[in-house]
Each structure stands twice: as structure tokens, then as C-alpha cells.
């Protein structure tokens, strides 16, 4: 420690410069299927065997595997047959595709979509708007039109967002006792992973996923089985179509996509639809009141700049938006993880 003060060797600057190299090594090992192959094999493998199994060059693979060892994403052992690689515990749980807590899809979204937008971060800061036009040649006027510019992109986004709830979903839903709310709408609920967590935590609730028709179609086809009776769907655009009556509305990572005007517009609509005694649960990554951190949230706010019309906000900022729409008794719970919860009551 003390390295931040050391002007002779600026450890922190070196670390930050290399940050994107670290990300890309992890993304690439995921994308090539290194962790999946090692899980399936059930025994440590040589770099030649991994290269052959994944159709990669022996030289490139050897280097990638060694970098993963340095990052503690793989472990290495010396045997008579030579050097063998195996997954670490954290890779088995989070980096393999088949794990229930897999972060594979969010990594692919970061690596292939988010990463390309960040190429234009300088332009985003200069212009104060998202960079879809430069990154992908699509209009940046309608951020979700741009983000869902193809079915493939939409599916990658939905799968990516779903993976976050496998690690944060339970905490944000348990932050408040939501058991009094039986009839719940998850506005912009996408692939439904948060809805699935919700009905498992609150077995007496039903959750309706309200999302764009093409999102609902993919959610039904790929993510939520018809056997999950507590989950239903409603096709619509929450800015332009009506919002049905319910006891609780979940807006999970929705307000961070939009500017204050759009947020107020949406919350006013939710307030009107909400049953008296009902509420709204905001699930967002909260900034400190002085915006001094957490650094993950500050970085996400930069990402909202390059990808959307929104930003990350403080608890007081969300409270003000809720109050402007008519909601009262606003409670804030920080989970200590990536996403926090804010509850407002009608």
C-alpha cells in the first residue's frame, strides 16, 4: 500500500493502463470456451490439448492460458506429462456457460458491444451523447432501437442482463419485505431472471414481465418456460402504451437509461396505474451523495453516457424523481453489491 503516493513508480497508473488488457484476456478465454472445456474434461489439460480442442493456435493458446494463470482464473500444475491447466473455483462458478451463476453472457456483451462503444468515449464526453452512430452506424436518437438493432444483439443484451440477477437478484429483492405485494409488474423485465428470483423468493406473488413485443417473444422462446405459472407477460412500450394496474412495479435498471424528464414521465404513469397502498421498487446501482463512489457505479454511469440517454444517480436523486411523481415513504437499502434498492409507496 501507499503506492498511490509513490511518485517514483506509479503503481496505480500502471494498473489502470492495463485494465483493459485484463478484461480482454478474461473475455477472450470465455469466448473461446477455455473454462467450459476444462470443466467438461474433468481433469487438467495441456495447452496443446486445449488449443486442439478449441481449434486455436498452440502458441496463442499457451500465452492466453499463462495470462489466465497470472490473473488467477486458471491454476497450473507441473507433472511428468508437462504443464497442465485447470479452472480455479471462481472460474468454474462464474465463467463457464453452464453454471447457474454464469457471467458468460454479460462478458460477451461487454466484449463485443460495450467495448466498441467505449472506443468513442472521448467523443461521448465532448458531445454528451451515446456513440451508436460512430460504433455501429445506427441512429443514436432511440437508444433501444439502436441496442436492439438486430435480433442477435437483443438476445445478447437480454442474456447478459439476465446473468447479473444470478449474482445480485436475491439481495435486491430481499432488501425489503415484498410479501404483501401479490400482483407485481416488472417493467422492462427482459429475459425474466429477476422475475424468476422474485417468484422463488415470494411464492405467493405473480410477476408480469412488461416489455416490447419482440423482447417478450424472445423471453418466451428462450428464457421463461410456460410451466413457470407465476410469470406472465404483457407486450407494450411503457412510454407510449398503457400500464395496467398492479400492487408493485419493479423498475430494474430502467431509470438509469433515461434523462430526468423521461423518468418523471414514466414514474407519473406508474403512479397513476398503481393501486393505493402499492409501491414501486427501483433497482439501481446507487452513487454516494457526493458522487465520490462507488467506482463501479461511476464507471457504469460512463457506460450510460456511451450507450443510452441516462446516468447513474444518488439515492436523493431517485427519491426526488419518485416524489415528483407522487410517491411517498421512500426507503433506500444499499446491498453492498452492484445493485441497490429504493422503495416508494403510494
Just list the catalytic residues.
Answer: 256
- 253 or 346: CB nearest ligand ASE: 253
Work out whether the CA dihedral 116, 119, 123, 124 comes out positive or negative. Answer: positive
In the three-class reduction of DSSP (H, G, I as helix; E, B as strand; rest coil), residue 107 is classed as helix
Candidates 123, 106, 146; CA nearest to 307 is 146
CA 157 to CA 237: how far, in whole Å? 18
Bond into 160 cis (ω within 30): no
- Write the CB contacts of 24 (distance below 8 Å, at least 6 apart in sequence): 111, 115
- Write the CB contacts of 338 (distance below 8 Å, at least 6 apart in sequence): 164, 167, 168, 285, 296
- 105 or 256: CB nearest ligand ASE: 256
- 37 or 114: CB nearest ligand ASE: 114
CA quadruple 211, 284, 344, 101: dihedral, nearest 10? 70
- 257 touches ligand ASE by CB under 6 A: yes
- 47 or 285: CB nearest ligand ASE: 285
Q: Which stretch binds ligand ASE (CB under 6 A): 13-21, 191-199, 250-258, 314-322?
A: 250-258
Shortest Cβ 263–ligand ASE spacing (Å)? 13
Q: Rounded to the nearest 5 degrees, what angle is found at the Cα of 84, between the Cα atoms of 78 and 90? A: 110
User: What number of H helices and E strands is found in the chain?
Assistant: 17, 9
List 131, 140, 308, 319, residue binding ligand ASE (CB under 6 A): 308
List 91, 162, 303, 319, residue binding ligand ASE (CB under 6 A): 303
Q: Rounded to the nearest 5 degrees, what angle is found at the Cα of 97, between the Cα atoms of 96 and 100? A: 90
Give the total of residues touching ligand ASE (CB under 6 A). Answer: 8
Q: Which stretch binds ligand ASE (CB under 6 A): 92-100, 167-175, 224-232, 302-310?
A: 302-310
- 99 touches ligand ASE by CB under 6 A: no
Q: What Rg, from alpha-carbon coordinates, does the chain have? A: 22
- 253 touches ligand ASE by CB under 6 A: yes
- 300 touches ligand ASE by CB under 6 A: yes
- 156 touches ligand ASE by CB under 6 A: no
List 22, 76, 93, 114, residue binding ligand ASE (CB under 6 A): 114
- 91 or 308: CB nearest ligand ASE: 308
Shortest Cβ 187–ligand ASE spacing (Å)? 12
CA 31 to CA 60: how far, in whole Å? 14
- 49 or 116: CB nearest ligand ASE: 116
Shortest Cβ 117–ligand ASE spacing (Å)? 9
- 284 touches ligand ASE by CB under 6 A: no
Q: Which stretch binds ligand ASE (CB under 6 A): 91-99, 253-261, 286-294, 319-327?
A: 253-261
Work out whether the CA dihedral 245, 248, 253, 257 comes out positive or negative. Answer: positive
- 132 touches ligand ASE by CB under 6 A: no
- Give Cα 205 distance to the centre of its chain: 24
- Site of interaction with ligand ASE (CB under 6 A): 114, 253, 256-257, 300, 303, 307-308
Amino acid at each position: 500500500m501507499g503506492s498511490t503516493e509513490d511518485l517514483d513508480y506509479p503503481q496505480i497508473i500502471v494498473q489502470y493502463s492495463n485494465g483493459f488488457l485484463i478484461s480482454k484476456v478474461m473475455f477472450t478465454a470465455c469466448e473461446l470456451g477455455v473454462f467450459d472445456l476444462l470443466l467438461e474434461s474433468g481433469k487438467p489439460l495441456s495447452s496443446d490439448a486445449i488449443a486442439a480442442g478449441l481449434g486455436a493456435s498452440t502458441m496463442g493458446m499457451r500465452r492466453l492460458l499463462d495470462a489466465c494463470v497470472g490473473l488467477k482464473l486458471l491454476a497450473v500444475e507441473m507433472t511428468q506429462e508437462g504443464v497442465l491447466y485447470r479452472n480455479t473455483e471462481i472460474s468454474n462458478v462464474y465463467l463457464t456457460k453452464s453454471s447457474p451463476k454464469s457471467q458468460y453472457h454479460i462478458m460477451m456483451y461487454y466484449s463485443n458491444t460495450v467495448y466498441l462503444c467505449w472506443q468513442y468515449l472521448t467523443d461521448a464526453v465532448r458531445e454528451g451523447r451515446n456513440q451508436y452512430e460512430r460504433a455501429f452506424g445506427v441512429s443514436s436518437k432511440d437508444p433501444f432501437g439502436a441496442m436492439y438493432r438486430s435480433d442477435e444483439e437483443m438476445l445478447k443484451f437480454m442474456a447478459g442482463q439476465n446473468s447479473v440477477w444470478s449474482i445480485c437478484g436475491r439481495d435486491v429483492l430481499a432488501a425489503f419485505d415484498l410479501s404483501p405485494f401479490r400482483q407485481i409488474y416488472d417493467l422492462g423485465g427482459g429475459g425474466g431472471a429477476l422475475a424468476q428470483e422474485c417468484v422463488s423468493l415470494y411464492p405467493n406473488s405473480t410477476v408480469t414481465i412488461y416489455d416490447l413485443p419482440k423482447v417478450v417473444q424472445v423471453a418466451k422462446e428462450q428464457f421463461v418456460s410456460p410451466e413457470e405459472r407465476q410469470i406472465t407477460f404483457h407486450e407494450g412500450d411503457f412510454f407510449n402504451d398503457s400500464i395496467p394496474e398492479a400492487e408493485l412495479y419493479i423498475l430494474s435498471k430502467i431509470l438509469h437509461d433515461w434523462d430526468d424528464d423521461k423518468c418523471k414521465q414514466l414514474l407519473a404513469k406508474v403512479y397513476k396505474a398503481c393501486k393505493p397502498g402499492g409501491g414501486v421498487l427501483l433497482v439501481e446501482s446507487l452513487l454516494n451523495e457526493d458522487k465520490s463512489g462507488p467506482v463501479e457505479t461511476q464507471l457504469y454511469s460512463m457506460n450510460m453516457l456511451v450507450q443510452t440517454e441516462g446516468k447513474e444517480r444518488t439515492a436523493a436523486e431517485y427519491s426526488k424523481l419518485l416524489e415528483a411523481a407522487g410517491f411517498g415513504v421512500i426507503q433506500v437499502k444499499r446491498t453492498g453489491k452492484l445493485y441497490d434498492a429504493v422503495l416508494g409507496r403510494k
